[in-house]
Amino acid sequence: MILETLSINNFRVFSGENTFDLIPRVKYNKKRPIILFGGLNGAGKTTTLTAVRLVLYGKQSLGMGVSQKEYDDYLAKSIHRTKTQAATQPNSASIELTFTYASQGVENCYTVKRHWMVKGKNQTVTEHITIAENDEPLSELSDEQCQGFLNELIPIGVSDLFFFDGEKISELAEDTKGEALGDSIKKLLGLDLIETLDADLGILLRNESKKGSSKDRKRQIANLEKELEQHEIKASHALEQFNQSFITRKALDSEGEKLENQLSSRGGAWAATREIAIKKQATLHEEQRLLEESLREVFSGNYPFTIAANFAQKTLVQLRSEYTHKRHTYTAQVLNDRMKSLTKSLHGFLDQDDFQRVNNAIQNELGSFTDSLGNLQVIHDVSDTLFTTIETTVNNALTQQKLRLTELHKRLSDVSDELDKAGKNIARAPEEAQIKPIIDKISKTHEKRAMCIALQKKQVELHKRHLRDAISVARQLDKLTSAITSDEEQVRTLQYATGAKALLKGFSTELAKRKVKDLETEFVNSFYRLSRKEDINLTASIDPKTFTVSLLSEDGREVNKDELSAGEKQIYAISILEALARTSGRRLPIIIDTPLGRLDSVHRSKLINNYFPYASHQMIILSTDTEVDEAFYHELSPSISHAFKLDYEPTESCTRATEAYFWREQKANAS
């Protein structure tokens, strides 16, 4: 299949008719598969993917559980609206897609056009779809038949593997129970059709059984069938209620986000901490008071000595010298008195010569000692106790008190800065009365959301309960059916139907096993090709009954998906999608919207080099300038056929498309 042209007319951000040539071109004797759409957020990238899905699948493109009214509302709101009030607003829109599709060796060209219009006071929406095959309109088909034709040509379950966006990647990445993967595999293999056929055969068996059964058996079967129908209706109703509440919940989430933004814009973030800031301000004021009191204590104590530190040091040196001099002088006096007494004693028992020699020796020693005292002038003449007190006081002032003052001053400065910040925060915060209405609205929105979640849980439980009851009733019907016999023709029919059911069950099981094994192999090949060398080496084991995916490391340990980074989860999901696409055996184009948002540069480079150029014969990438940036564009360029740049013009409230790509615009325009 090749998508050739896409024409979008008055759809969402596109005003008027916008036509895109999607056929891969040949450059330098090589067909290049990649068509690149570049645009900033809101410029229409997702709208382009939505347009392809909408033109092919209509209401089904919006998902399960969408009512006709919801679909009509969606179509009406999707018609482009200009900001200019004077301009005539369009009341219709259309999407047209031309593509070639080969089946059994025959290639045909199809043009599908979906057109809708809003008219009348009641704003009634009318939709019409046409299909042309090789330029010949298939006029014999009604709108419903046209949709059925497209569904058979490209089943929506298969297209999900080829036309996907970040939401599909996220759904597979976060799918821990295998539900999303299971649905994809069933649609891929046609197992959903087998389940439908199995259910139809069960109905056939019951209907055939009733023909030859007794009145009592017929009555039992009729009652059970009625009960089964009621359970199916109730289960379907519960599912519809769940889907409706899901839409309501998304609306409440959006409303809550708007209110939170509104609260933040009015200073709600400051208001949330206003009381804390006020308490902190009071604490800081008290600390400031205590610090100032401590400073006064320092100033009233020994600290003034530091003002004349040099003079205090000189005075201390003088006092220490006087202290030492006085001690030595006193010692000399005491020694002199003692020596006089000693001399008298020696004079009594020494002769004159010996006494003279001894006395000379004593006088020489005393003379050298007294000479060392010098002629220091004692100025202050303080007591020893007072000198010790002065010395301790001055040293304390010049060391401890000075350091204490520095610490107190620094902390007082820090407290003053914190007080200024707290005061500014309090001044920024609005009064409670100003934001109370918004807070009340947020509270009510949270209450409604909680009620919505509770309703969802209730509806899920109801749906499960009625399904369990329906299964139980169906088993009772099967037992009654197996107990009834009829004539030869009826018995043969029942045997054929029973055999077909058994065959279908075995076929479904065997087909699932084989395809799951192929899927595991394709996943491993894809994951190894797209992951980094330092990423964990994974293999996949898929249960063919539940389709639960178990990721196994090199040593056989099961890896919880929560252990993977956001980038690894996305690579895992893209690998699953590629494996599913390859296992399907179909050659379809791939359209991928914003695929690189959660990846680091290494993972992005892996996708750029190992996925985009080889995943399909036609790869349409919808990207921002930060995903496929200038460096990645250069790496992709050998595989890029051409590119479109989507520019949203706020003044005209619409998007303009040119064949270019961000920084390639001037060159493209010149060519």
- Tens digits of residue pLDDT in 614-647: 888 999 999 888 888 888 888 889 999 999 999 9
607 DSSP β-pair partners: none
d(CA 369, CA 338): 15
pLDDT of the residue at 51: 95
Look at 446 and 439; give whichever has higher pLDDT.
Answer: 446
User: How would residue 123 be classed by pLDDT, with cut points 50, 70 and 90?
Assistant: confident
State the residue for tokens 């409670």: 432
**What is the rounded distance in angstroms from the CA atom of residue 216 to the CA atom of residue 234?**
27
Residue 230 has pLDDT above 70, yes or no: yes
Are 109 and 133 in contact by the 8 Å Cβ rule? The answer is: yes
Q: Determine the pLDDT at residue 56.
A: 93
pLDDT over 60 at 8, yes or no: yes
Q: CA nearest 392: which of 312, 310, 308?
A: 312
Mean pLDDT of 302-320: 77
In the predicted model, is pLDDT for residue 606 greater than 90?
Answer: no
The answer to whether 399 and 301 have CB atoms below 8 angstroms apart is no
Residue 561 has pLDDT above 80, yes or no: no
Query: How would you class 452 by CB atoms within 10 Å of its CB: exposed for 0-12, middle for 13-18, buried for 19 or more?
Result: buried
Least confident span in 14-28, 149-163, 337-351, 421-435: 421-435
Tokens coding 605? 């480079």
Amino acid at the residue 528: Y
CB atoms within 10 A of CB 233: 12
DSSP assigned state of 25: P
In this predicted structure, the answer to whether residue 28 has a pLDDT above a threshold of 80 is yes
b (16+ CB within 10 A) / e for 457-468: eebeebbeebbe
Can you tell me the distance from the alpha carbon of 346 to that of 204, in angstroms, rounded to the nearest whole number?
Answer: 153
Cα(433)–Cα(230) distance, rounded to whole angstroms?
54
Averaged pLDDT for residues 395-412: 83
Predicted confidence band of residue 668 (pLDDT cuts 50, 70, 90): very low
pLDDT on residue 355: 79
The two beta strands, 34-39 and 619-623, are: parallel
pLDDT score of 109 more than 90: yes
Q: What is the mean pLDDT of the chain?
A: 79
Q: Find which of 168-177, 200-209, 549-558, 644-653 is predicted with most confidence, using mean pLDDT.
A: 644-653
Triad 119, 120, 125: Cα angle to 5°: 40
Residue 132's SS3 state is: strand
Q: Read off the amino acid at residue 93.
A: A
For residue 331, the number of C-alpha atoms closer than 13 Å in the C-beta half-sphere is: 11
Q: What dihedral angle (degrees, nearest 10) is formed by the CA atoms of 248, 249, 250, 251?
A: 50
Within a 10 A sphere around the Cβ of 555, how many other Cβ atoms?
6
- Least Cα distance to 654 among 116, 87, 49 occurs for 87
- How high is the pLDDT of residue 666? 40
User: What's residue 614's pLDDT?
Assistant: 86
Mean pLDDT (whole number) for 166-179: 64
Instruction: Tell me how far apart the alpha carbons of residues 619 and 392 are, in angstroms, rounded to a whole number.
Output: 89
Q: Kindly report which listed range (119-123, 130-134, 195-199) carries the lowest average pLDDT score.
A: 195-199
When pLDDT is averaged across residues 468-497 and rounded to a whole number, the result is 70
What is the CB neighbour count within 10 angstroms for residue 170?
17
Task: Name the pLDDT band for 669 (thresholds 50, 70, 90).
Answer: very low
> How much is the average pLDDT of 106-122?
91
Q: How confident is the model at residue 163 (pLDDT cuts 50, 70, 90)?
A: confident
Per-residue model confidence (pLDDT) at position 18: 95
Question: How many helices, marked H, and strands, marked E, lie in the chain?
Answer: 20, 17
Would you state the pLDDT for residue 534? Answer: 59
Per-residue DSSP letter, 227: H
pLDDT in tens, 185-200: 666 666 666 666 677 7
**C-alpha pair distances (Å), 534 with each of 197, 238, 603:** 47, 47, 11
pLDDT of residue 340: 76
Least confident of 296-310, 444-458, 526-540, 610-624: 526-540
Q: What is the pLDDT of residue 597?
A: 63
pLDDT mean over 77-98: 85
Among the residue ranges 250-264, 460-474, 550-564, the one predicted with the least confidence is 250-264
Q: Where are the beta strands (DSSP E) in 538-631?
A: 539-542, 549-552, 558-559, 590-593, 619-623
- Which of 30-44, 428-442, 655-669 has the largest mean confidence? 30-44
Q: Which helix (H) or strand (E) holds 69?
A: helix 68-78
Angstrom distance (rounded) from CA 537 to CA 662: 37
One-letter identity of residue 318:
Q
Asked if 295 contacts 405 with a C-beta cutoff of 8 angstroms, the reply is yes
Q: Which of 470-474, 508-512, 515-519 is the least confident region?
A: 508-512
Give me the long-range contacts of 239-243 (CB less than 8 A, separation at least 24). Answer: 239/65, 239/459, 239/463, 240/65, 241/455, 241/459, 242/65, 242/456, 242/459, 242/460, 242/463, 243/64, 243/65, 243/66
Please state the rounded mean pLDDT for residues 344-353: 77
| Distance (Å, whole) CA 257 – CA 589 | 37
Give the span between the Cα atoms of 252 and 413, in whole angstroms: 49
From the list 84, 70, 79, 96, the residue with the least C-alpha distance to 7 is: 96
Question: What percent of the chain stands above pLDDT 70?
Answer: 80
Token pair in block for residue 249: 């919940």
Res. 267 pLDDT band, cuts 50 70 90: low
CA distances from 357 to 169, 342, 366, 382, 579 (A): 118, 14, 14, 41, 123
Q: And the tokens for 215?
A: 């009145």
pLDDT at 487: 44
pLDDT of residue 473: 86
3-state secondary structure of 141: coil
- Dig out the tokens for 650 from the structure: 């706020």
Q: How many CB atoms lie within 10 A of CB 303?
A: 19
